Amino acid sequence: MSTATGIALAVTEPGPLHRLGGWIRNDIRGAVSLGFLLLLVVVSLLAPVIAPYSPTEQDYNAALAPMSAAHWLGADDLGRDTLSRLIYGAPATLYACSLAVGIALLLGVPVGLIAGYFGGWVDDVISRIIDTLLSFPAIVLAIAVTGALGIGLTNGMISVGIVFSPQLARLVRARTLVVRGELYVDAARCFGAPTSRILSRHILPNTIQPVIVQVTLLLAGALLAEASLSFLGLGIQPPNPSWGAMLARAYQNMEIAPEQMYPPGLAILFTALAFNTLGESLRIALDPTAKRR
């Protein structure tokens, strides 16, 4: 290949940002998923405005009421409006997912960078710890950590973030092992750049692409973990609304009013599906050689 041809290909080949720009136009499923999640954010921000009732307001005359003009999605066994609690449960869900994934990033990315860059006994020790943590079922480990930290939404999601961090650490470690052998990293060492600068300016930016995709998948996992912990009574505490807590409440009255399980269950399903679909779409957009599963 001639020099001119190589320059032409370098100029005309779309980069990651250009591919992301075309992704919205070309990937319908990704665009719909992103639109759904943005709508969820808007609903969370406007919950006090658009919710027809207070999420804790009780009307015993409307207990287990079916769908009607007064209660579009019915009411629970305490007469609280299901639609209002669903709307007010969205901010708690987004907060829980963001907190868990933020903790996972804060713990997992630095550990993965250190293990992959230094190698040797440092990598061996960290890898054994990661393997040990990954050998436990995630929800069981999250319940154990929640029991140690205390019951509550924040403590529950901190525990989920701790459980998720080994997955990110392993991903970043694998990518760092590849990037640390590149010529620009060797050049930075030769010029005497400190290790912190090499990690932050040369290695981290080149490991972030798979992390972005993994984050969207972990958001779906955090959503399901929060719902599971709230269902078990270890997450958000009554009377605060949560989709998992709503599902647990509806389960207690399933034989009397089974329709009460559908709103929180479908909200959890569609949100998790949107996160997963968005992650798959980002994987395709950021890596042109990848194929949709």
Per residue, the 3-state secondary structure of 21-90, as one string, reads HHHHHHCHHHHHHHHHHHHHHHHHHCHHHHCCCCCCCCCHHHCCCCCCCCCCCCECCCCCEHHHHHHHHH
- Least Cα distance to 93 among 38, 143, 153 occurs for 153
Local mean pLDDT, 10-residue blocks, the chain (293 residues): 42 46 70 91 93 88 84 87 92 91 94 91 91 82 80 86 92 90 83 83 85 90 87 81 87 86 92 90 71 57
Q: What is the pLDDT of residue 128?
A: 92
Domains and CATH numbers, the chain: 13-56+73-286 (1.10.3720.10)
pLDDT value at position 145? 80
Give the pLDDT score at 195: 81
pLDDT at 283: 79
Rounded distance between C-alpha atoms, residue 18 and residue 216, angstroms? 20
Q: What pLDDT is recorded for position 49?
A: 92
